[in-house]
Homo-oligomer: A and B are copies of this chain.
C-alpha cells in the first residue's frame, strides 16, 4: 500500500480537523502522521495528513472527487500526492558547485525524492559534475541578451515539465514573470541569515560588520529579492580571525545544509505558505 499526502490550508472554523480526519477514516484510510496548525492571528488553518489504504487505493478518482468536494466546502487550497512519486526538479546553478554537488549526492543516495531532467547554468563549470551522473546539462548564455536568456529559461522549464526549481547558487535575479509563473515552486539559497545582508556580497559585509555568526537562508523566490517566505536557516559561529574567505568556506556548509533541508521539506509536502510566512511541518 502506498502513502498519500493531503496538504491543505483554509480559513479556520470549528471542527475542521474532525471533518478531515473523519473523511479519511470513513474512506477506510489509516492516518500515519498528522500535522496541524492554526494561526490564531490570521484565523487560518493548515494541515498535512499522511495516510494509507481504503478508497484512495481502490478507487482513487472517487476519493479525489470527494476530497475536492470537501475542500470546496472548506474554501481550501489543497494538494493530494502519492508520497513515493519523485518531484520533477530542475536545478539552476552558476559557478559555485558546492550546493549542486550536495544535492546530486542526496539525490543519488535517495535521500531526496526528486528526479532531475536537467541542470541549467549560465556557465560551463558544472558540466562534468552533472553529466557524469547521467543528467542533462544545459547552458544558457546570459551575457549578451538577458531578457532573451530568461525567456529561453522559462521555455525550457516548461518543456522539461519542471514541478520544482532550485536556485543552487544561481547568481542571476529572476524576472518577475518567472517568479509569478512558478510561484511557490522556486526555492533559493541565500548566503546570509536573512534579513541580515540582503543582496550581494553577504560574506564580505558580514566580515566588515564583525558578526560572530554567519548563516544561510533557504526561501521561496518571489518578486522581492531575498524577501520571500523563509523555509530554513542555518548558522555557524565565526571568530575575529576568520577572513572573508574563511566565512565563504564555513558558509558553504551552512548553505548546503539549509538548502538540502528546505528541498526535503518542500518535496515531502511539508511547507505551506501563507502571506510571507512559511508553515513548515519539519520531520
Q: Which A74-116 residues have a C-beta within 8 angstroms of B?
A: 97-98, 101-102, 105, 109, 111
On whether A209 and B235 interact (CB within 8 A), knowing A34-B36, A193-B196, the answer reads no
Q: Bound complex: CA of A132 vs CA of B105, how far in Å?
A: 14
Which residues from chain B contact A229 at a C-beta distance below 8 Å?
210
Given contacts A21-B17, A276-B210, A277-B210, contact A37 B241 (CB under 8 A): yes
A1-33 residues at the B interface, CB under 8 angstroms: 14-19, 21-22, 24-25, 28, 30-33
Give the residues in chain B near A102, CB-CB below 8 Å: 105
B246–A283 touching, CB < 8 Å: yes
Chain B residues with CB below 8 A from A97, complex form: 109
Q: Interface digits, A187-202 against B, CB 8 Å rule (1 contact, 0 not)?
A: 0000001111100000
Query: Are the C-beta atoms of A195 and B209 separated by less than 8 Å?
Result: yes
- Pairwise interchain contact B109-A105, C-beta atoms closer than 8 A: no
Say if the beta carbon of A211 comes within 8 Å of chain B. Answer: yes
7 closest residue pairs by CB, A with B: A210-B277, A15-B25, A18-B21, A18-B25, A196-B196, A240-B279, A212-B233
At the interface, yes or no: A282 with Cβ under 8 Å from chain B? yes
For the complex with contacts A18-B25, A32-B40, A209-B230, 17 further pairs of A-B residues with Cβ separation under 8 Å are: A16-B31, A18-B31, A19-B25, A22-B22, A33-B37, A98-B105, A98-B109, A195-B196, A196-B196, A209-B276, A210-B230, A211-B230, A212-B231, A213-B233, A213-B235, A241-B283, A246-B283
- Asked if A239 is at the interface of the complex by the 8 Å CB criterion, the answer is yes
B21 touches A25 (CB 8 A): no
Cβ of A269 within 8 Å of any chain B Cβ, yes or no, is: no
Whole-angstrom distance from the CB of A51 to the nearest CB of chain B?
10
Q: Give chain A's interface residues, CB within 8 Å of chain B.
A: 14-19, 21-22, 24-25, 28, 30-34, 36-38, 40-41, 97-98, 101-102, 105, 109, 111, 132, 193-197, 208-213, 215, 229-233, 235, 239-243, 246, 249, 252-253, 257, 276-280, 282-283
Residues in B whose Cβ lies below 8 Å from that of A241: 33, 37, 283
Tell me, rounded to whole Å, the shortest Cβ–Cβ distance linking A263 to chain B: 14
A24: chain B residues at CB < 8 Å are 18
> What's the least CB distance linking A245 to chain B, in Å?
11
In the assembled complex, which residues on chain B have CB atoms less than 8 Å from the CB atom of A111?
Answer: 249, 252
| A30 lies within 8 A of B14 (CB) | yes
